Amino acid sequence: MKKEKEFQDKTALITGAGSGIGRETALEFSGLGTNVVVSDIDETAGKETVKMLTKAGGDALFVKADVTRSEEVKKMVGESVEKFGGLDFAVNNAGVLSAEARTGDYPEEDWRRLIDINLTGVFLCMKYELQQMAKQSSGVIINTASIAGIAGFPKNSAYAASKHGVVGLTKSAAIEYAQRNSHQRCLPGIHLDANGRNSDETSTGTGGGA
Protein backbone atom coordinates (compact mmCIF):
# COMPACT_ATOMS: atom_id res chain seq x y z
CA MET A 1 0.00 0.00 0.00
CA LYS A 2 1.29 3.43 -0.91
CA LYS A 3 2.04 5.41 2.21
CA GLU A 4 0.67 8.95 2.23
CA LYS A 5 3.01 11.52 3.73
CA GLU A 6 0.36 13.10 5.96
CA PHE A 7 -0.14 9.80 7.81
CA GLN A 8 3.46 8.68 8.22
CA ASP A 9 4.83 8.79 11.76
CA LYS A 10 1.57 10.22 13.07
CA THR A 11 -0.48 8.59 15.84
CA ALA A 12 -4.02 7.25 15.71
CA LEU A 13 -6.07 6.10 18.71
CA ILE A 14 -8.92 3.73 17.90
CA THR A 15 -11.47 2.47 20.42
CA GLY A 16 -13.29 -0.78 19.90
CA ALA A 17 -10.34 -1.90 17.78
CA GLY A 18 -10.50 -5.55 18.80
CA SER A 19 -12.88 -6.43 15.96
CA GLY A 20 -15.03 -5.22 13.09
CA ILE A 21 -14.80 -1.61 11.99
CA GLY A 22 -12.23 -0.78 14.66
CA ARG A 23 -9.81 -3.52 13.63
CA GLU A 24 -10.17 -2.71 9.93
CA THR A 25 -9.54 0.97 10.67
CA ALA A 26 -6.43 0.09 12.67
CA LEU A 27 -5.11 -1.97 9.77
CA GLU A 28 -5.73 0.87 7.32
CA PHE A 29 -3.95 3.45 9.47
CA SER A 30 -1.02 1.14 10.11
CA GLY A 31 -0.72 0.42 6.42
CA LEU A 32 -0.28 4.15 5.83
CA GLY A 33 2.65 4.30 8.24
CA THR A 34 0.71 5.59 11.25
CA ASN A 35 1.47 4.53 14.84
CA VAL A 36 -1.70 2.91 16.16
CA VAL A 37 -3.06 2.75 19.69
CA VAL A 38 -5.53 -0.13 19.86
CA SER A 39 -8.09 0.13 22.64
CA ASP A 40 -10.81 -2.31 23.59
CA ILE A 41 -12.37 -3.74 26.74
CA ASP A 42 -11.64 -7.21 25.35
CA GLU A 43 -7.93 -7.59 26.08
CA THR A 44 -7.52 -10.79 24.05
CA ALA A 45 -9.14 -9.31 20.94
CA GLY A 46 -7.26 -6.02 21.29
CA LYS A 47 -3.88 -7.71 21.64
CA GLU A 48 -4.69 -9.86 18.61
CA THR A 49 -5.18 -6.69 16.57
CA VAL A 50 -1.83 -5.38 17.80
CA LYS A 51 -0.21 -8.67 16.82
CA MET A 52 -1.66 -8.31 13.31
CA LEU A 53 -0.31 -4.76 13.00
CA THR A 54 3.19 -5.52 14.27
CA LYS A 55 3.43 -8.65 12.16
CA ALA A 56 2.82 -6.46 9.11
CA GLY A 57 5.64 -4.13 10.20
CA GLY A 58 3.59 -1.49 12.03
CA ASP A 59 4.13 0.11 15.43
CA ALA A 60 1.21 -0.41 17.81
CA LEU A 61 0.23 -0.26 21.48
CA PHE A 62 -2.70 -1.90 23.26
CA VAL A 63 -4.50 -0.04 26.04
CA LYS A 64 -7.42 -1.73 27.75
CA ALA A 65 -10.20 0.74 28.52
CA ASP A 66 -13.89 0.85 29.32
CA VAL A 67 -15.14 3.98 27.54
CA THR A 68 -17.88 4.48 30.15
CA ARG A 69 -15.27 5.18 32.83
CA SER A 70 -13.74 8.64 32.75
CA GLU A 71 -10.55 7.67 34.58
CA GLU A 72 -9.86 4.83 32.14
CA VAL A 73 -10.45 7.04 29.10
CA LYS A 74 -8.16 9.75 30.49
CA LYS A 75 -5.48 7.10 31.13
CA MET A 76 -5.94 5.73 27.61
CA VAL A 77 -5.26 9.11 26.03
CA GLY A 78 -2.36 9.75 28.41
CA GLU A 79 -0.65 6.45 27.60
CA SER A 80 -1.07 7.13 23.87
CA VAL A 81 0.70 10.46 24.18
CA GLU A 82 3.37 9.07 26.48
CA LYS A 83 4.20 6.28 24.02
CA PHE A 84 4.11 8.19 20.75
CA GLY A 85 4.49 11.85 21.74
CA GLY A 86 1.13 13.15 20.56
CA LEU A 87 -2.32 12.35 19.21
CA ASP A 88 -3.08 13.17 15.59
CA PHE A 89 -6.14 11.03 14.87
CA ALA A 90 -8.81 9.56 17.13
CA VAL A 91 -11.51 7.16 15.98
CA ASN A 92 -14.22 6.75 18.60
CA ASN A 93 -15.72 3.48 17.50
CA ALA A 94 -16.54 1.47 20.64
CA GLY A 95 -20.22 0.63 20.75
CA VAL A 96 -22.90 -2.01 21.11
CA LEU A 97 -26.18 -2.90 19.46
CA SER A 98 -29.45 -2.75 21.36
CA ALA A 99 -32.02 -5.27 22.45
CA GLU A 100 -34.95 -5.36 20.08
CA ALA A 101 -38.19 -4.11 21.63
CA ARG A 102 -40.80 -1.46 20.97
CA THR A 103 -40.18 1.74 22.88
CA GLY A 104 -43.00 1.12 25.34
CA ASP A 105 -41.55 -2.26 26.21
CA TYR A 106 -37.87 -1.36 26.17
CA PRO A 107 -35.99 -2.49 29.32
CA GLU A 108 -34.73 0.54 31.24
CA GLU A 109 -31.51 -1.19 32.26
CA ASP A 110 -30.69 -1.94 28.61
CA TRP A 111 -31.46 1.67 27.67
CA ARG A 112 -29.07 3.08 30.27
CA ARG A 113 -26.29 0.64 29.36
CA LEU A 114 -26.48 1.37 25.65
CA ILE A 115 -26.63 5.16 26.05
CA ASP A 116 -23.72 4.98 28.50
CA ILE A 117 -21.53 3.10 26.03
CA ASN A 118 -22.58 4.51 22.66
CA LEU A 119 -23.09 8.16 23.58
CA THR A 120 -21.47 8.96 26.93
CA GLY A 121 -18.48 6.85 25.88
CA VAL A 122 -17.98 8.98 22.77
CA PHE A 123 -18.34 12.15 24.86
CA LEU A 124 -15.70 11.03 27.36
CA CYS A 125 -13.29 10.07 24.60
CA MET A 126 -13.78 13.39 22.83
CA LYS A 127 -13.35 15.30 26.09
CA TYR A 128 -9.83 14.02 26.72
CA GLU A 129 -8.83 13.81 23.05
CA LEU A 130 -9.83 17.43 22.52
CA GLN A 131 -7.86 18.54 25.56
CA GLN A 132 -4.73 16.96 24.09
CA MET A 133 -5.40 18.24 20.57
CA ALA A 134 -5.95 21.75 21.91
CA LYS A 135 -2.46 21.63 23.42
CA GLN A 136 -1.08 20.60 20.03
CA SER A 137 -3.31 23.02 18.07
CA SER A 138 -4.09 20.14 15.71
CA GLY A 139 -5.91 16.86 15.44
CA VAL A 140 -8.73 14.97 13.75
CA ILE A 141 -11.54 13.07 15.49
CA ILE A 142 -13.81 10.60 13.73
CA ASN A 143 -16.88 9.24 15.50
CA THR A 144 -18.60 6.08 14.29
CA ALA A 145 -22.30 6.76 13.89
CA SER A 146 -24.89 4.83 11.88
CA ILE A 147 -27.70 5.21 9.40
CA ALA A 148 -29.79 5.04 12.58
CA GLY A 149 -28.24 8.39 13.51
CA ILE A 150 -30.25 10.18 10.84
CA ALA A 151 -33.39 8.02 10.64
CA GLY A 152 -35.74 6.01 12.81
CA PHE A 153 -34.87 2.42 13.69
CA PRO A 154 -37.97 0.42 14.74
CA LYS A 155 -37.53 -1.75 17.84
CA ASN A 156 -34.10 -0.18 18.34
CA SER A 157 -35.03 3.18 19.82
CA ALA A 158 -32.11 3.27 22.26
CA TYR A 159 -29.59 2.60 19.51
CA ALA A 160 -31.15 5.23 17.26
CA ALA A 161 -31.21 7.75 20.10
CA SER A 162 -27.55 7.06 20.92
CA LYS A 163 -26.46 7.53 17.31
CA HIS A 164 -28.55 10.67 16.83
CA GLY A 165 -26.77 11.90 19.94
CA VAL A 166 -23.35 11.10 18.47
CA VAL A 167 -24.20 13.06 15.33
CA GLY A 168 -25.34 16.07 17.37
CA LEU A 169 -22.31 15.87 19.66
CA THR A 170 -19.96 15.77 16.69
CA LYS A 171 -21.61 18.74 14.97
CA SER A 172 -21.53 20.80 18.17
CA ALA A 173 -17.85 20.09 18.84
CA ALA A 174 -16.98 20.84 15.22
CA ILE A 175 -18.44 24.33 15.61
CA GLU A 176 -16.74 24.90 18.97
CA TYR A 177 -13.29 23.96 17.70
CA ALA A 178 -13.57 25.21 14.11
CA GLN A 179 -10.98 27.96 14.67
CA ARG A 180 -8.52 25.77 16.57
CA ASN A 181 -7.30 23.53 13.77
CA SER A 182 -9.10 20.54 15.28
CA HIS A 183 -11.53 18.66 13.06
CA GLN A 184 -14.42 16.35 13.91
CA ARG A 185 -16.21 14.02 11.51
CA CYS A 186 -19.05 11.55 11.88
CA LEU A 187 -19.21 8.45 9.68
CA PRO A 188 -21.90 5.79 9.28
CA GLY A 189 -20.88 2.61 11.06
CA ILE A 190 -21.39 0.01 8.38
CA HIS A 191 -19.08 -2.97 8.14
CA LEU A 192 -19.50 -6.02 5.91
CA ASP A 193 -18.20 -9.28 7.28
CA ALA A 194 -16.55 -12.04 5.27
CA ASN A 195 -19.97 -13.18 4.07
CA GLY A 196 -21.02 -9.73 2.94
CA ARG A 197 -23.48 -9.27 5.80
CA ASN A 198 -23.98 -5.97 7.57
CA SER A 199 -22.31 -6.24 10.98
CA ASP A 200 -22.96 -2.64 12.02
CA GLU A 201 -21.40 -2.29 15.48
CA THR A 202 -21.21 -5.86 16.68
CA SER A 203 -21.22 -5.97 20.46
CA THR A 204 -18.20 -7.22 22.38
CA GLY A 205 -19.40 -6.17 25.82
CA THR A 206 -19.54 -2.98 27.85
CA GLY A 207 -17.41 -0.38 26.16
CA GLY A 208 -16.41 -2.96 23.61
CA GLY A 209 -15.59 -2.56 19.94
CA ALA A 210 -17.51 -2.24 16.75
Q: Which amino acid is at 126?
A: M
Q: Indicate if 159 belongs to the active site.
A: yes
CA distances 33 to 56, 83, 86, 108, 109, Å, are 11, 16, 15, 44, 42
Phi, psi of 119 (to 5 degrees): -110, -55
Residue 184: exposure state from Cβ atoms within 10 A (0-12, 13-18, ≥19): buried
CA distances 50 to 33, 47, 110, 129, 140, Å, are 14, 5, 31, 21, 22
Q: How far apart are CA 83 and CA 65, in angstroms?
A: 16
Sign of dihedral through CA atoms 24, 29, 30, 31?
positive
Phi, psi of 15 (to 5 degrees): -90, 155
Given the residues 106, 128, 159, 177, the one annotated as active site: 159
Rg (the chain; Cα; Å): 16
Which residue numbers are catalytic? 159
